[in-house]
Structure 1
Amino acid sequence: MIYPEWFTDGLALWVHCVHIQNTYSDLYDALVFFRGDLAGRRAHEELVAKIARDGWNEV
């Protein structure tokens, strides 16, 4: 992490948050993973909802 916060040590990747490169070079890949392709196939919407809930509850 470039700018660690007080809560950084308590976060687990793919449990409380999803890591994105600071250049955003992998942002599209992460969006496709969670939302699926243009037709919505292979989406992981339940996983992203769980990560969002767990991340919010952790802070």
Structure 2
Amino acid sequence: PEIQQTIEKIGNVNPEKVMLMPQAATRDELLAKSPMVAEMCKQTGYAFSQRLQVLLWNNQKGR
């Protein structure tokens, strides 16, 4: 994955300092992508974060 390449370029990065979140603008996208990102976090020790604004307001602008 792209994040692995970036971390390898930087070098000496503590996995506990890395946080990943799914790229999503809608609830459906978020629900589809979250399991893959969460699994990657479990395997690497990275932190997982959701996009609360997407869960709450979906793709509404100005909220």
Q: Which structure shows the bigger proportion of residues in helix conformation?
A: 2
- With normalisation by structure 1, the TM-score equals 0.36
TM-score (normalizing by structure 2): 0.34
The answer to which structure has the higher strand fraction is 2
Q: Give the greater-gyration-radius structure (CA).
A: 2
